[in-house]
Structure 1
């Protein structure tokens, strides 16, 4: 029995809750995965997994062994990275998840520089606006805009994103340009629906140092950042987004910023990763690269091309 491979297989089964998913994620056959677990349980003399028709879960002994495997595998990867001749050039697959528009507009166009610096890292990038379960889906790290509440993950702040309120030029011709919050009466907004809870976000403004939230009438609600901007371009109402997301439209004059004196508060940008992967050199260099690109000053665009991240992520 390859004990190291058996440990890796066991960890993936616990994380994904299924033999088949673990086999697929590791590029192994389901038969070989089943055989390895039988050999591992026989070697240890305990039952590690409880199998049902719907899922696979760790037993009490299995959970204790899982926690030890996580530490051992992390220590092994760190040791290899320290003593390998490739210490400065980490290798392997790195699975990253990004909000869709953030990936399309900013991260992916900048990736050639990362790939040139770390040619032995293979990137697998998911780009969507849905919440991702890092453990069950085998994702190494995610980039998120907004408040972070998951205490089970390591969170590294990267900076802040300038937000603004905007409308299409056609909308402003039809409804007039509001100069104060009181002049928003009679205006409509495009509502954004949370992908996690389904709730609608209010418009938020900072006036004289205090935040003020307003709910405007709406005819359209969307649940993706790109659809949010597209609805605004179509003249369906006001929206609030990070400046990067509408930079091209503002430059072209199809969208216009309004209420510049009471912009929304900057939006926090954070990279998150599971605790047992915090020693992974692949994750570390990718997080450091992101930190290089996005400044802490919310009023200053990052180095290189573009500004950053979807406000409605």
Structure 2
């Protein structure tokens, strides 16, 4: 028996079961009766079984033909469903091609869960807009037109840019238990000179070597052993117990803080606050769709900070930074 790929014959067989005979099925399929008869005959030859009882007029399905017709109906339905799905996918792809794309740059040193949720809500409100996210593209890429919106942990006035304040974040000095066992811990801020400090690259626009504790300040200067890296590199060096991290946000190491693997050092001392801003190119702030994306990012940043650094300060018993006033946002 040869396997048939004659779908037209199977479709006709399905119609025979539905209409009760070959003549009505041929009419339903817009076929001449002679053509319909040849299609069924060809299917009978391929399958090696009788499908039509031609001893009666009009011809009707045999018992075997009736059983085969059940499968034929399933085949026809499956094909119809597949074609509908393909049509929907084609239409969706066509719409995707017509979508407006907004490119958003986010800092690597940030737990993005809440922020991504805000962006997904934004896309639900704007089904004709797709948001593409990149990591740490920064303001140069925004100015060059490679991104449309950029979140930065700093404020940089520039006539080519429009900036929307998004929130303040504090990060405390961190160490691991293994580091403590190997090297001990600083007891005073001046003891940092005897430890390896992990800091972001100086080229980073959010770079700072300033530590604060109330009205006191301390600078990580050339008299310190410093290892520079991006946020990911600083985190890996911290987890490898190679130094004390100064400027990692708590959300970036939240799992390790929760387990106690990472803990705060010199409680009360912190890097000067991060002043997050959402940027776009000057003039783009008048674009309502883009400006709404900036607002969603701003709300996501605020919620992220409210749920992260303040939570960890409270949980780890770190005094709140002097002068900080909790804010609420509707």
Q: TM exceeds 0.5?
A: yes
1:277 aligns with 2:269: no
**Cα gap change, 1:138 to 1:217, in 2 (>3 Å):** closer
Q: Which has the larger radius of gyration?
A: 2
Asked if 1 retains the 8 angstrom alpha-carbon contact of 2:162 and 2:279, the reply is: yes
TM-aligned CA deviation for residue 219 of structure 1: 6.3
Which of 238, 251, 255 is equivalent to 1:248?
255
TM-aligned CA deviation for residue 131 of structure 1: 4.8
**Cα gap change, 1:182 to 1:155, in 2 (>3 Å):** same
Deviations 1:20-74 (A, max 9, x none): xxxxxxxxxxxxxxxxxxxxxxxxxxxxxxxxxxxxxxxxxxxxxxxxxxxxxxx
Aligned counterparts of 1:188 and 1:286: Cα–Cα separation in 2: 40
TM-aligned CA deviation for residue 228 of structure 1: 1.0
Aligned counterparts of 1:117 and 1:184: Cα–Cα separation in 2: 49
**Cα gap change, 1:131 to 1:155, in 2 (>3 Å):** closer
Aligned counterparts of 1:219 and 1:261: Cα–Cα separation in 2: 21
TM-aligned CA deviation for residue 152 of structure 1: 2.0
Deviations 1:267-293 (A, max 9, x none): 100011111211112211111112222
Aligned counterparts of 2:124 and 2:114: Cα–Cα separation in 1: 17
| Unpaired stretches in structure 1, ≥5 consecutive residues | 1-90, 308-313
Partner of residue 263, structure 1: 270
**Cα gap change, 1:100 to 1:136, in 2 (>3 Å):** same
Normalising by structure 2, what TM-score?
0.56
Question: After TM superposition, which residue ranges in structure 1, 4 or more long, deviate above 6 angstroms?
Answer: none
Aligned counterparts of 1:296 and 1:230: Cα–Cα separation in 2: 26
Aligned counterparts of 1:109 and 1:218: Cα–Cα separation in 2: 39
Deviations 1:162-211 (A, max 9, x none): 211101221111122223213334211124323458x9853x32134132
Aligned counterparts of 1:277 and 1:287: Cα–Cα separation in 2: 11
Q: Secondary structure in 1 aligned to 2:293? A: helix
Count of residue pairs brought into register by the alignment? 211
User: Where do residues 191-270 of structure 1 align in structure 2 (5 Å cutoff)?
Assistant: 191-195=199-203, 202=209, 204-215=210-221, 217-218=224-225, 220-222=227-229, 224-240=230-246, 241-270=248-277
Normalising by structure 1, what TM-score?
0.59
Aligned counterparts of 1:162 and 1:178: Cα–Cα separation in 2: 20
- Greater alpha carbon shift after TM alignment, 119-128 vs 94-103: 94-103
* Larger relative contact order (CA 8 Å, sep ≥ 6): 1
User: Where do residues 1-313 of structure 1 align in structure 2 (5 Å cutoff)?
Assistant: 92-102=100-110, 107-108=115-116, 110-128=118-136, 131-195=139-203, 202=209, 204-215=210-221, 217-218=224-225, 220-222=227-229, 224-240=230-246, 241-295=248-302, 300-301=306-307
Q: Secondary structure in 2 aligned to 1:111? A: helix
Q: Secondary structure in 2 aligned to 1:189? A: strand
Asked if 1 retains the 8 angstrom alpha-carbon contact of 2:102 and 2:131, the reply is: yes
TM-aligned CA deviation for residue 227 of structure 1: 0.9
| Unpaired stretches in structure 2, ≥5 consecutive residues | 1-98, 314-330
